[in-house]
């Protein structure tokens, strides 16, 4: 029976890093969108290793966002997928992601996360995070804008990548 405990732990880890799809909510009242809070954390998993740059250097080769499904209901949830191709030098690198949500040109939610400890070397990183749709979310088109800022040591943060995607909240 100890194998079942190991299998359960491995499955939980795979869901946590986004390698296994999250189960769909069968009833709208039980969906993630009805939870309070906006702590939508992301766990990045490196899928391929790339060569490194000189210490103190960072270069984003690609940063993409996508949402699935493209349409959601209040009290439901969507999944935001991210792909980041990063080349970086050795040493401590502080990376912050600022993720803003807009509708009709107005900022409606924002999330800030330190992700440098997950991006330990050059490579291709993938991540998925569940986006809850609050019960009071008005119907319409929404845009997610993600900005990545990097800082080496005590230097000033610089914008290293920007990505955006859109989704719709149905009435």
Residue 95 half-sphere exposure toward CB, CA atoms < 13 A: 26
| Domain hosting residue 53, numbered range | 2-169
Q: Alpha-carbon distance 108 to 168, whole Å? A: 14
Indicate whether this model's pTM tops 0.85: no
Mean pLDDT of 56-76: 93
Q: Check which CATH number belongs to the domain holding 48 and give it.
A: 2.60.40.10
- Strand-pair category, 123-132 with 43-49: antiparallel
Mean pLDDT, rounded, of the chain: 78
Q: What 3-state class would DSSP assign to 76?
A: coil
Q: What 3-state class would DSSP assign to 136?
A: coil
Residues 6+ positions from 55 with CB-CB distance below 8 Å: 89, 90, 91
Question: What is the domain count for the chain?
Answer: 1
Mean pLDDT of 35-59: 69
């Amino acid at each position: 029976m100890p194998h079942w405990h190991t299998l359960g732990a491995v499955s939980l880890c795979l869901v946590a890093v986004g390698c296994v799809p999250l189960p769909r909510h069968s009833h709208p009242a039980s969906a993630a969108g009805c939870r309070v809070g906006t702590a939508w954390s992301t766990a990045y998993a490196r899928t391929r290793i790339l060569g490194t740059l000189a210490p103190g250097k960072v270069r984003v080769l690609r940063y993409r966002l996508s949402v699935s499904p493209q349409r959601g209901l209040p009290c439901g949830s969507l999944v935001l997928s991210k792909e980041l191709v990063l080349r970086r030098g050795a040493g401590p690198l502080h990376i912050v992601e600022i993720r803003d949500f807009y509708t009709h040109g107005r900022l409606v939610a924002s999330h800030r996360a330190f992700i440098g400890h997950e991006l330990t070397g050059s490579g291709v990183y993938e991540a998925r995070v569940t986006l809850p749709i609050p019960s009071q979310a008005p119907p319409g088109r929404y845009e997610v804008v993600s900005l990545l800022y990097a800082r080496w040591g005590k230097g000033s943060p610089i914008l290293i990548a920007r990505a955006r995607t859109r989704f719709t909240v149905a009435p």
